Chain A
Amino acid sequence: MFITLLAGALLNGIVTGMVYAMLGIGLSLILGLLNIPNFAQGVLYAIGGYFLFSIGQALFGFWVGVLIAPFGVAAVGGLIEYVGVRRLYGVHPDYILLLTFGLALVFTELMILIWGPVGITVFPPKLLTGGVNLGVTFYPKYRLAIMGLTIALVFGVWLFVEKTKYGAIIRAGIEDRDMVNALGINIHRVFTVTFAAGAGLAGLAGALIAPIQGLHPSMGIVILPFAFVVVVVGGLGSIPGAILGGLLVGVVQSVMTIIWTPGADIVVFAAMALVLLLRPQGLLGKR
């Protein structure tokens, strides 16, 4: 019986963990390259979910929605960088943080204005409703699908950043921004694209988790601290770090829920503080 429990908890942890990882990769890229903790990452995640609802549920179906929503959020992210963040590069970095915080509040209100204050239920595609007997435990199809999808996507992102030329530019930028600029690459464009990509990943995470958790205007505010834990634990600017961080946070939360429920969230933030103190670059970070 305990095996069933543990198996279920692990699976749950991996599912939420992979979603956290995706959210965290986005945040980590932005943090690594632009050196800003993007306090708007949470609401971008939420907007992804809402876009899925509007495009997917209301109009073209789940699959189309899941495809388009992240790009929509990426566009929002790019716009934020171009119109807002860019103005503040010369000024103290604290102000960029504050800008993103202000955006988090503004977007939360916009979400209430556009989609209403009431929680919205998003339905998974017909294909993926119901559950499957895995032998050791019974598990919902949709969650298994997300697990597979996120692993593939995250691997794809990692491939992109590790193996492509553009990815190399991003990695170089994270290591030494000025050098990249000196080499003649338009670092500002890289920034915009990276911010957009980070936002897009958050949006995708939000869209994928929407059928499991439903949508709520405050979901951005609630998830943000957890995104930070992922990035801090995993390591700023490190994609494998974000994956590791995400999985750790997801699994720890999930397992704690079955052992000592009140402790689930407390342990997560205690771990964040511990990592910051003992190994601030995170488990897999470089700086």
Chain B
Amino acid sequence: MNLNTHAGTRLFPQMTGLVIALVVLPVVMRPIIAADICVFAIAAMALNLIFGYTGMLSFGQATFFGVGAYVGGLLLIHVTQNLYLALLIGTCAGALTAAVVGYLCIQRVGIYFIMLTFAFNQLFYFIAFKWTTLTGGDDGLPGVPRPPVALASLEFTLDSSLKYYTFVAIAFFLLFYVMKRIVESPLGMICQSIRENPDRAAAVGYNVQLYRWVVFTIAGAFTGFAGVLYAMMYGIVPVEAIFWITSGDIVFMVLIGGIGNLYGPLVGAMVLRWLSETLSVMWNRWPLLSGLFFIIVVLFLRGGCVEILERLREAWGKLELRRKEASYGIAADREAD
């Protein structure tokens, strides 16, 4: 696992890399898919916080994603056209759910914790599935509008996929920055120490349970926010949004991207969605390939794509060095003296 102990990682020294990626994304993929990537990247960032940095594997993030999506969706359909309000309340719903569920789940550790998150996920799923008058059940909740964004005295409509992507990308960028600050703050350091050795952290005087709970709740907030964005993206909240396989997908993205690395979630979301987009049109059974890729990552490349890129970079670097040595040869030696 990559340890992100200093401000700024080795791979992307500046945020400019991120900005370039976000600008290029809708050119390389359909804008709606690019938006999908950013939305899930937010949820994956949240999981990365509790799994990559704090060592808690939650197999139930879809709970908060779904709660955010349903709450946001219902608000936009029945109550308000204020985008900010819907986002705020959806986020709070996610945070609140995570606070309650998290409080209960952190009472246990290890596999018990994982299974608790899983159990709660299923509980919420079946409630959403059966409460058809509220959520539409298996049919999903259709008709979620995309109200315009109000900024200062201006109003931006989000009617096209590209416009929606721009909005989502900006949201992602801002949230990324927030996550970066969290991770690089003392809170982030403490979380990593909890991941490494909870007993030692407790011995040093940190309230391990409190930190775990806070971090879980923060992750729930991020995930709830992502849920609201998801509801507006396709205008429908399908029940899969709260199903355990979606929790698995989010884990998938974090692993494939590179766990414990700030950029991992985005890379993971990109890779998974890109695979999905290009492969699904060619072969209906494409999840087989992404599943195999996931297994390979778990078995051999636990650092994910970030690790792959790092190794590529190292290899390139070695190549460069050898090239330099070859061409400058004696001069390099002389300089070293």
A265 at interface, CB cutoff 8 A: yes
| Contact of A280 with B57 at beta-carbon distance under 8 Å, contacts A101-B248, A113-B288 already known | no
Most buried by A among B51, B107, B127, B298: B298
When the two chains form their complex, are residues B291 and A273 in contact, meaning their CB atoms are under 8 A apart? Answer: no
A93 at the interface (CB under 8 A from B): yes
- The answer to whether the Cβ of B118 comes within 8 Å of any Cβ in the partner chain is yes
Q: Which of A102, A110, A112 contacts B298 (CB 8 A)?
A: A102
With A99-B298, A113-B285 as given contacts, are A106 and B126 in contact (CB-CB < 8 Å)? no
Could you tell me the distance between the alpha carbons of A21 and B284 in the complex, rounded to whole angstroms? Answer: 35
Say yes or no for A88: interface residue by CB 8 A criterion: yes
Q: How far is the CA of A227 from the CA of B101 in the complex (A)?
A: 21
In the complex, residue of chain A having the shortest beta-carbon distance to the beta carbon of B108: A280
Prevailing SS type, chain B contact patch: helix
**A103 within 8 Å of B (CB atoms):** yes
Inter-chain contact B294/A225, CB cutoff 8 Å: no
List which B83-107 residues lie within 8 A (CB) of chain A. Answer: 104, 107
- B168 in the interface, Cβ–Cβ < 8 Å? no
Collect the chain A residues with CB atoms within 8 Å of residue B299's CB.
Answer: 84, 87-88, 99
Q: In the complex, what distance in Å separates the CA atom of A109 from the CA atom of B292?
A: 11
User: In the complex, which residue of chain A has the Cβ closest to the Cβ of B132?
Assistant: A262
Task: Say whether B302 contacts A265, CB under 8 Å.
Answer: no
Q: Mark B210-246, 1 if CB is under 8 A from A, else 0.
A: 0000000000000000000000000000000000110
CB-nearest residue of chain B to A97:
B114
Interface string of A259-276 (1 = CB under 8 A from B): 000110110011011001
B134 interface residue (CB < 8 Å to A): no
- Are A266 and B57 CB-contacts (below 8 A) given A106-B291, A109-B287? no
Q: How far is the CA of A113 from the CA of B30 in the complex (A)?
A: 29
Q: Does A229 contact B (CB under 8 A)?
A: yes
Q: Complex: how many Å from CA A31 to CA B116?
A: 15
CB-based contact B294/A105 at 8 Å: yes
A88 smallest CB distance to B (angstroms):
7
Across the interface, which residues of B come within 8 angstroms of A170, CB to CB? none
Given known A94-B57, A113-B285, A273-B104, contact A102–B294 (CB-CB < 8 A): yes
Whether B298 lies near A88 (C-beta < 8 A) is yes
Closest Cβ neighbor of A87 among chain B residues: B299
- Residues of A within 8 Å of B316, CB to CB, are none
Interface membership of chain B positions 275-301, coded 1 if the CB is closer than 8 angstroms to chain A and 0 otherwise: 000000000010110111011001100
Residue from B110, B245, B298 in contact with A93 in the complex, judged by beta carbons closer than 8 Å: B110
Beyond contacts A37-B115, A98-B255, A273-B104: 8 other A-B pairs, Cβ-Cβ < 8 A, are A88-B299, A99-B299, A102-B295, A103-B291, A105-B294, A228-B118, A276-B108, A277-B104
Interface residues, chain B, with chain A CB atoms under 8 Å away:
51, 57, 59, 104, 107-108, 110-112, 114-116, 118-120, 122-123, 126-127, 129-130, 244-245, 248, 251, 255, 285, 287-288, 290-292, 294-295, 298-299, 302
